[in-house]
C-alpha cells in the first residue's frame, strides 16, 4: 500500500475531521470539541471527515462506533466522508487500515529512526528518577536506544515495542487557539512508542498516517493532547508530510472540577437523547461556552461562518449534568 498523502483535487481548502474512539459513549466534552472542529471547517467552506479510531482493541466496545455517529448526527453535525457515507480515502475505521501503519513503520525502520525496545513499564519506572519525570510520567531513559532497527532479528521470541528516536531540539507550532507553542519532546517523554509490543500501531503513528492519507489539514481537539503534538510533528517531518494546522481547546469540567470522562453515564449524549433532551437546547448551551449566543436553542448550521477562534474563552468551561 505504501505511505501516502492525499492531495485535494479541489484546491487547498480546509479539511477537518471528527475522530471518535469507540471505547464508550460520547459526553458533553466531546460534543463541545467536535462542535468547534465542525464549525472551524464549515466556516471556512471546508470538508469534514469522520474517522473511527479503534486501534486500542482491548478498550473497544461493540456498537460504540455506530452510537457515536448517531449521537453526532443528533447534535446536527454532518460529514462528507466516513464509514457510513464512504469516500476516496477509505476505509474510515483505523482497524481496517493496519497495512498502512505497517508500511509507515517499515519506512521508519529503513531510515533507522526507530529501534526495538524490550523495556517494561515497571523497568522504565525504576530507571527514571523523580527529578527527570516528564509531563506524562517518567521520561524514557534510553535504555534500548543503542539498538538499531536491524536488531529486530536478534530478538525473536521476546516482546518488544518500536520507539522513535526523538533527538534534541525544540519543536513548535502556531496553535489556532493558544498561539505559538514550543516544546522539547525529549523533556516531555523522550523516545516514544510508535509500534506496540502486541503488534498494533501507537496512537501517535496511526493518527499521523491517517490524517496525512486523508488530506486532513486542520486538527481541532482537546488540550489534553497538546503534549502529543510535538511528537506528531516529528513524525510528519520523518515522513516528509506537510503537517496540518493544530488547535487545542480547553476540556469541559464537571461541578467537582474534574474533567468529564466516559465513565460518567449521566452526561453521555446517548443518555440525554434517551431522556428526550432537545439537541438544539444542548447546542445553545455549548454555544454560550464558545462565544456564540446567550444559550438560546440553536443548530450548528445556524453558526456556520460566525465562530471566531479569538472569542473562545481560555478557561475550561464547567457544565452541570444536573441541569439536564
| 182 annotated as a binding-site residue | no
Helical ranges in the chain per DSSP H: 28-43, 64-75, 98-110, 121-127, 185-188, 203-213, 229-239, 269-274, 279-289
Binding residue per annotation — 117? yes
243 assigned binding-site residue: no
Query: Cell 432537545, residue?
Result: 278
Among 169, 192, 194, 191, residue whose Cα is nearest residue 182: 169
- Is 92 annotated as ligand-binding? no
Q: CB count, 10 Å around CB of 157?
A: 4
Tell me if 306 sits within 8 A of 43, measured CB to CB.
yes
> Does 262 belong to an annotated binding site?
yes
126 is in an annotated binding site: no
Catalytic annotation on 109? Answer: no
Q: Which DSSP letter does residue 152 get?
A: G
Is residue 203 annotated as involved in ligand binding? Answer: yes
The DSSP bridge pattern shows strands 179-183 and 15-18 to be: unpaired
Q: Please identify which of the residues 109, 178, 262, 268 carries the catalytic annotation.
A: 262
178 assigned ligand-binding residue: no
Binding site annotation covers 144?
yes
How far CA 51 is from CA of 43, 188, 310, in Å, comes to: 20, 28, 27
Q: Is 152 annotated as ligand-binding?
A: no
Q: Which residues are annotated as a binding site for Zn(2+)?
A: 117, 119, 140, 144
Which residue numbers belong to the known binding site for L-glutamate? 17-21, 53, 203, 221
Binding residues: 17-21, 53, 117, 119, 140, 144, 203, 221, 262
Catalytic residues: 262
Binding residues for ATP, as ranges, are 262
Amino acid at each position: 500500500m505504501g505511505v501516502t498523502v492525499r492531495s485535494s483535487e479541489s484546491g487547498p481548502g480546509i479539511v477537518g475531521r471528527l475522530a471518535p474512539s469507540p471505547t464508550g459513549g460520547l459526553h458533553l466534552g466531546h460534543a463541545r470539541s467536535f462542535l468547534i472542529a465542525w464549525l472551524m471547517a464549515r466556516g471556512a467552506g471546508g470538508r469534514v471527515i469522520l474517522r473511527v479510531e479503534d486501534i486500542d482493541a482491548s478498550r473497544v466496545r461493540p456498537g460504540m462506533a455506530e452510537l457515536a455517529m448517531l449521537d453526532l448526527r443528533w447534535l446536527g453535525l454532518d460529514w462528507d466522508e466516513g464509514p457510513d457515507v464512504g469516500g476516496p480515502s477509505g476505509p474510515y475505521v483505523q482497524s481496517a487500515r493496519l497495512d498502512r501503519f505497517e508500511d509507515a513503520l517499515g519506512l521508519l525502520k529503513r531510515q533507522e529512526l526507530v529501534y526495538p525496545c524490550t523495556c517494561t513499564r515497571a523497568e522504565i519506572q525504576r530507571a527514571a528518577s523523580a527529578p527527570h519525570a516528564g509531563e506524562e510520567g517518567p521520561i524514557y531513559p534510553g535504555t534500548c536506544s543503542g539498538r538499531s532497527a536491524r536488531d529486530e532479528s536478534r530478538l525473536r521470541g521476546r516482546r518488544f515495542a518500536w520507539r522513535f528516536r526523538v533527538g534534541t531540539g525544540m519543536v513548535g507550532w502556531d496553535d489556532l487557539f493558544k498561539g505559538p507553542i514550543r516544546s522539547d519532546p525529549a523533556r516531555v517523554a523522550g523516545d516514544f512508542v510508535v509500534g506496540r509490543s502486541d503488534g498494533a500501531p501507537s496512537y501517535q503513528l496511526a493518527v499521523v498516517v491517517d490524517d496525512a492519507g486523508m488530506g486532513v489539514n486542520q486538527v481541532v481537539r482537546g488540550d489534553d493532547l497538546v503534549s502529543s503534538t510535538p511528537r506528531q510533528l516529528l513524525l510528519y517531518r520523518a515522513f516528509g508530510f506537510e503537517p496540518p494546522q493544530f488547535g487545542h481547546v480547553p476540556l469541559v469540567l464537571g461541578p467537582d472540577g474534574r474533567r468529564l470522562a466516559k465513565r460518567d453515564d449521566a452526561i453521555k449524549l446517548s443518555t440525554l437523547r434517551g431522556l428526550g433532551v432537545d439537541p438544539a437546547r444542548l447546542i445553545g448551551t455549548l454555544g454560550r461556552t464558545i462565544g456564540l449566543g446567550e444559550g438560546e436553542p440553536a443548530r450548528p448550521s445556524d453558526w456556520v461562518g460566525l465562530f471566531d477562534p479569538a472569542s473562545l474563552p481560555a478557561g475550561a468551561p464547567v457544565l452541570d449534568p444536573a441541569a439536564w
